[in-house]
Chain A
Amino acid sequence: RKEVEQDPGPFNVPEGATVAFNCTYSNSASQSFFWYRQDCRKEPKLLMSVYSSGNEDGRFTAQLNRASQYISLLIRDSKLSDSATYLCVVTSAPGGSYIPTFGRGTSLIVHP
């Protein structure tokens, strides 16, 4: 089983739709969780951190479920500019070091 798994998609949705992605992780000792956004041929950029209590930033809501070992990202009122690949990142700390592990990414296409 891969350490971090995501449905690669693509998720093809119309403007204004609500879309949700999940990401599962295998290491129960994982410490920090993030969602990054990557546009084609560009570097990943942090979208938001994911806290145990959940967090919201405008149209984006991230949640963490430690018991089931998954994180989610909800995008409301999708915009054309939301089209990108969304990467789930989980960090673990074997022996005290911080290692970010990436999921494969979920592709989102928002169409008019």
Chain B
Amino acid sequence: GAVVSQHPSRVICKSGTSVKIECRSLDFQATTMFWYRQFPKQSLMLMATSNEGSKATYEQGVEKDKFLINHASLTLSTLTVTSAHPEDSSFYICSARDNYMNTEAFFGQGTRLTVV
């Protein structure tokens, strides 16, 4: 099956610093990338959707200036959490889909971010 690689799997950073999370599709073209966040015992909440070469569309309540998404190529999207605070500590997961192939989205391994 299709593979999505997400790095890093775990990161601890100091409050006020920025963290970049990478999501790569290894064997298909990720025309659309989804970024989700999951707090403990909560559902996966969509943060933003990005199409290759376009600006990301953010869900209501998600600050676009804080969560910077870049999707410049068909195989790579990045999420940068800027000026991270402890309340940003969460499990972030990317999901990628090739719009022209099928209706399934494949997930990265997830990134556990802890801001101290």
Contacts and interface: CB of A to CB of B under 8 A. Distances in A.
A42 B112 CA distance: 10
A103 to B, nearest CB: 6
B108 A105 contact: no
B contact residues, range: 20 to 34
Given A102-B43, A104-B42, A43 B107 contact: yes
A72 interface: no
Contacts of A101: 46
A contact residues, range: 20 to 34
Interface string B21-41: 000000000001010100001
A20 interface: no
Contact of A87 (B44, B95, B104, B110): B44
A66 B95 CA distance: 26
Q: Nearest 7 A-B pairs (CB), nearest first?
A: A104-B43, A43-B107, A102-B44, A32-B103, A43-B110, A102-B43, A43-B109
Interface of A: 8, 31-32, 34, 41-46, 49, 87, 91, 97-105
Given A8-B41, A99-B49, 20 more contacts: A34-B104, A41-B110, A41-B112, A43-B93, A43-B107, A43-B109, A45-B107, A87-B43, A87-B44, A98-B32, A98-B97, A98-B99, A98-B103, A99-B34, A100-B34, A100-B105, A101-B46, A102-B45, A103-B43, A104-B42
